[in-house]
Structure 1
């Protein structure tokens, strides 16, 4: 079997050019860490007020933080997450952006 030749290189075939849709990286997230200081109710209240969680979401995240040690509580652009993370820190929670 004879290989096609393109631009003098054996075995290279011409390929069709295609457009590729590039998605914006929106995978930044606030990680909330467990601590031995804040109560469940306080963490739930903070998640509702700062991260705009509903009650169920805030409770589930709080339980995950307690039992797993951490949980990502908000995803989005760095511009959106930075003030939210700073507010969680100001309220005495342990959080960082990844």
Structure 2
């Protein structure tokens, strides 16, 4: 009768470095992009930007509105995702044509 022999082997866990540092990556910022369309007036777009985007001046709103008209789009705000979602939804509800939110 043959007896099977089993060699014992030691299983070792991977070594964990004690000096391991935790790296923290910042949350990404999101861009709010207004797109050109054929039905919103300059005045309406500028008024919406002033109403819903914090610290938007009338001059900056008109500059961005012209950019939307002549270049087809403008990035009107960049910041944290939660705020970006709010401002994006408000502009969308006001009737502006919006690109989907995208990380910066």
The alignment's TM-score, normalised by the length of structure 1, stands at 0.73
Unpaired segments of 5 or more residues in structure 1? 1-18
**Equivalent residues of 2:29, 2:81 under 8 A apart:** no
Does residue 58 of structure 1 match 2:26?
A: no
**Alignment correspondent of 2:35:** 33
Matched, 1:85 2:88: yes
Specify the alignment match of 1:10 in structure 2: none
Q: Name the one with the larger strand percent.
A: 1
Aligned to 2:101: 97
* Rg (Cα) greater in structure: 2
Q: Which runs of 5 or more structure 2 residues have no equivalent in the other structure?
A: 1-20
Question: Pairwise CA RMSD of aligned residues?
Answer: 1.9
In the aligned structure 2, how far is the partner of 1:23 from the partner of 1:60? Answer: 33
Q: Which has the higher contact order (CA 8 A, sep 6+)?
A: 2
